[in-house]
Amino acid sequence: MTDPAYPATRLRRTRTTAWSRAMVRETRLDPSDLIWPLFVTDGDEAEPIASMPGVSRWPVEMIADRAAEAREAGIPCVALFPNTPPDLRSDRGDEAVNPDNLMCRAIGEIKDACGEDIGILTDVALDPYTSHGQDGVVDGGGYVLNDDTVSILVEQALNQAQAGADIIAPSDMMDGRIGAIRHALEDDGYTNVQVMAYAAKYASAFYGPFRDAVGSRGLLKGDKKTYQMDPANAEEALREVAFDIAEGADSVMVKPGMPYLDIVRRVKERFEVPVFAYQVSGEYTMIEAGAAAGSGERDALVLESLLAFKRAGCSGMLTYHALDAARLLNS
């Protein structure tokens, strides 16, 4: 269809008033689009994270209150990340499979307080538990071993499911891990535990503040380029997504977020599956620093950036701004 020419067509007509703009609005942002990542600490007090102004690590005893706040604001799901004490980190990340680790205790607190009223998404990868900060087990040369890692990730996923996790979200980028985890969940009776695959996860420079938050920045030598994707590649992202869906993922994620919205759009157009994106720590910090430096009004920057994810095709976003954004949307 072609529009009749100007002046019969004046695209500004529908923009004239607020009510009219509301009528033709194509995309809406809602608190139910948001997933709130929360960091958990073994300490007894909230620990502000220097590189993420406004974000803290929470002790297990305070985590249920955060989940309750999220639920009150209409957020359907929280995502948990542990800052494992240094003495519990090891070569093979054994703490990841401890049924009494920080993650499992935090899941228990939230389930006790909120029951089925809010979802809990848990990250599967070994980096918060390894002494070298890589997401898997490494050989003598520092190469992350795929199949050895997958067998530990399966145990980690079962440990989280056992503790009450609702959505298992593997962020490690090993080949074959979605299928292995799905099979193990089925075999052990966790048939309704979902898998959200970090399907197209890039070796990005935007993860720095997160590594501070989980305490792996100082430990990590080198990079994650032998398993996370090259930021230059888009077709490869579609192959990753195809594999993860074939292996049983209920939903897929693109990560980071804003610099990768072209990937979101291509995935959304190609596959019939819910697509999520992670607005990562470096993006959060960039928006906060930008607002402080005069890039724009902070709340408006937050909401516009999240709306862009919806417009690109996301079903939802993981964002550290989730609680603030939900409250803005509610007010």
Query: Can you give the binding site for ligand PBG, defined by CB under 6 A?
Result: 123, 125, 127, 135, 171-172, 207, 210-211, 224, 280-281
For ligand PBG, the nearest residue by Cβ is 210
CB of 115 to ligand PBG, least distance (A): 26
Residue 298 CA: distances (Å) to CA of 222, 278, 289, 321: 34, 19, 9, 11
Pick between residue 110 and residue 286 the one whose CB is nearest to ligand PBG. 286
Question: Active-site residue 255, yes or no?
Answer: yes
Rounded least distance, CB 83 to ligand PBG, Å: 12
Please report how close the Cβ of residue 319 comes to ligand PBG at its closest, in angstroms. Answer: 9
The stretches of the chain forming alpha helices (DSSP H) are 18-24, 60-72, 102-114, 146-163, 177-187, 208-213, 235-246, 261-270, 281-292, 298-312, 322-330
Per annotation, catalytic residue among 201, 224, 268, 310: 201
d(C-alpha 122, C-alpha 81), whole Å: 7
Q: Of 111, 224, 255, 310, which is the active-site residue?
A: 255
Measuring CA to CA, how many Å separate 190 from each of 62, 76, 118, 163, 167?
28, 21, 18, 11, 11
Three-state DSSP class for 76?
Answer: coil
- Which is nearer to ligand PBG, 5 or 278 (by Cβ)? 278
Minimum CB separation of residue 126 from ligand PBG in Å reads: 8
Nearer to ligand PBG, 160 or 281 (CB): 281
* Active site (annotated) includes residue 201: yes
Q: Say how many C-beta atoms besides its own lie within 10 A of residue 44's C-beta.
A: 9
The position carrying tokens 């695959």 is 197
CA–CA dist 38, 247 (Å, integer): 28
Nearest to 70 by CA among 277, 322, 315, 280: 322
Q: Is the peptide bond before 53 cis (omega within 30 degrees of 0)?
A: no
Distance CA 76, CA 15 (A): 33
Q: For ligand PBG, which is the closer residue by CB, 72 or 231?
A: 231
Choice between 105 and 177, CB closer to ligand PBG: 177
Residue 230, helix vs strand vs coil:
coil
Q: What minimum distance in Å lies between the beta carbon of 73 and ligand PBG?
A: 20
The residue (of 190 and 320) whose beta carbon lies closer to ligand PBG is 320
Residue 167 CB partners (closer than 8 Å, separation 6+): 77, 119, 120, 121, 122, 193, 194, 195, 196, 250
Asked if 278 and 257 touch (Cβ cutoff 8 Å), the reply is yes
State the catalytic residues. 201, 255
